[in-house]
Chains A and B, each alone.
Chain A
Amino acid sequence: DTGVSQDPRHKITKRGQNVTFRCDPISEHNRLYWYRQTLGQGPEFLTYFQNEAQLEKSRLLSDRFSAERPKGSFSTLEIQRTEQGDSAMYLCASKPGQAGNEQFFGPGTRLTVL
């Protein structure tokens, strides 16, 4: 257990529905990341927060995706109008602000879109 938690661990939804995932980082970590991992691939960067500010979004993050980190604590990732191609493992990671520190990953949320 790395200290980063994610909820839910699994989500099955029908195409077109909205889903929301939650990440609780290690409390003293001010940096938070979302990654997406599909079968046979390494995690791919989606977005990055420093405290409550979303500083970077990948081109992978279409307009249907939105992420927030109110008050610089937990974060949510919402996918609207889900598509089958959204099926993946969504990973959250956090780290302190110092350069070089490793990222600590949560267990992930596995999304299946039917």
Chain B
Amino acid sequence: AQSVAQPEDQVNVAEGNPLTVKCTYSVSGNPYLFWYVQYPNRGLQFLLKYITGDNLVKGSYGFEAEFNKSQTSFHLKKPSALVSDSALYFCAVRALLTGGGNKLTFGTGTQLKVEL
């Protein structure tokens, strides 16, 4: 079964510093990986995805993620953090459904706090 692990409940970083939010995955077959962000009392907003191709994926708001097949990781990164990046971040993997189609299996989330 597909699964995702986010080992850090919270990541603290100073504004202007680089940030990394970690994600490791377990899938059978080729992984389809996603990052979403959630602000308080809001739904999830899509940031970026890896389907195939270049291991470095660029997404919204200056975020990028690096796919590493040997380490089964898909860490989210940003070169310079902003206070407005403070939110809850979810890593997800596509999982196939027995009836056809697919769903997303999410990690438990990482709270990012960017301080001045």
Interface of A with B (CB < 8 Å)?
2, 4, 6, 31, 33, 35, 40-45, 48, 50, 55-56, 91, 93, 100, 102-108, 110
Contact = CB atoms under 8 A, between A and B. Distances in A.
Interface string B52-89: 00000000000000000000000000000000000000
Contacts of B49: 100, 102
B12 to A, nearest CB: 18
B98 A45 contact: no
Contacts of B107: 42
B106 interface: yes
B29 interface: no
Given A41-B109, A42-B90, A91-B43, A105 B32 contact: no
B40 to A, nearest CB: 11
Given A41-B109, A42-B106, A102-B34, A107 B101 contact: no
For this complex, into which size category does the number of interface residues on chain B fall? 20 to 34
Task: List 5 A-B pairs, minimum CB-CB distance, nearest first.
Answer: A42-B106, A105-B43, A55-B99, A105-B44, A100-B51
A106 B42 CA distance: 8
A100 to B, nearest CB: 4
Contacts of A4: 43
B28 interface: no
> Chain A binding site: helix, strand, loop or mixed by DSSP?
strand
B106 A43 contact: yes
B97 A56 contact: yes
Nearest to A41: B108
B103 A45 contact: yes
Contacts of B42: 107-108
